[in-house]
Amino acid sequence: MDYIRATDVFPERLLQEIQRYIQGELIYIPTRSSERRKWGENSGAANYYVARNEKIRQSFREGVTIDQLSDQFGLSVESIKKIVYSKR
């Protein structure tokens, strides 16, 4: 995240109002909650895990054992159980 000069962004009147509360300090202005992205949306990680988990569920339905899935996907037996027994 880059720093942006307040004088380059805010109108003078708004900047003066902000300075009534804080001066010479760094301040973080969060994104509006309506514009926030969920975890993994930017990087594609969320989609990767959804697809991986669906492959695990499909393999389990086809008869692959939990131990085999654990070895194949490099996950613990408990993690595989959580995936295959979840209500998705």
Whether the predicted pLDDT of 73 surpasses 80: yes
Report the predicted TM-score, pTM, of the whole model to 2 decimal places: 0.57
Confidence of residue 69 (pLDDT cuts 50, 70, 90): very high
Please state at what angle helix 66-73 crosses helix 77-85, rounded to 10 degrees.
110
- Residue pair 84/66 in contact by the 8 Å Cβ criterion: yes
Whether the predicted pLDDT of 83 surpasses 90: yes
pLDDT in tens, 38-55: 777 778 788 999 999 999
- Residue pair 47/40 in contact by the 8 Å Cβ criterion: yes
Residue 38 is predicted with a pLDDT of 76
